[in-house]
Amino acid sequence: MFAATLFAACDVEKKTAEETPPQQPSQEPQVALVQLAPGGGKPQVTKNAEAQQFDGNPEQIAAGRQLFMAYNCVGCHFNGGGGIGPPLMDSKWIYGSSMENIGSTIREGRPNGMPSFRAMVTDEQVWQLAAYVRSLSGLANNKTAMH
């Protein structure tokens, strides 16, 4: 009798599970849709006055270096010399070498490997990272370089 009761209970549970439709997520994940492609000319990015305050500023470059290490940018860019990611110490910039273009790359990511850091960094941190990256190749406004 116990077995018959247990079997009946399992059968009721099975029917309830089959009749209940699976729960759907209330919202789909939001994905930034940007048109990015390597090559094809220089990116067109409007100058940002805030970004220019970070470019060449030794304190901001030092903060950017710390972030570069903390976010493991070194893992792909190998301290600027390139590896999995492109080198940052040369004058060949696929997406442009301006503060704004570097900031856009950090925020949005790039095809074939560069992830988007949009959800992880503040605007200030984006400009600090961009200032450090520019300093690696000597592009910073005052040519301050910290290797």
41 inside domain: no
Could you tell me which residue, 74 or 5, shows the higher pLDDT? 74
Residue 11 lies in a domain: no
pTM of the model: 0.65
Query: Is 141 part of a structural domain of the chain?
Result: no
What region does 36 belong to: left with phi over 0, alpha with psi -120 to 50, or beta? beta
Tens of pLDDT, residues 79-89: 777 777 888 88
Residue 30 belongs to a domain:
no
**How far apart (Å, rounded) are the C-alpha atoms in residues 89 and 107?**
20
Say how many domains are in the chain: 1
User: How confident is the model over 53-61, as a mean pLDDT?
Assistant: 94
121 part of a folded domain: yes
Read off the CATH number of the domain in which 114 is found. Answer: 1.10.760.10
> Closest by alpha carbon to 125, among 68, 74, 77?
68
Q: Domain of 91? A: 49-136
Is 10 within the bounds of a domain?
Answer: no
Express each pLDDT in 89-144 by its tens digit.
Answer: 888 888 888 899 999 999 988 888 888 899 999 999 999 999 999 999 887 665 34
How high is the mean pLDDT of the chain? 75
Q: Over 70: is that where the pLDDT of 21 sits?
A: no
Residue 36 is assigned to a structural domain of this protein: no
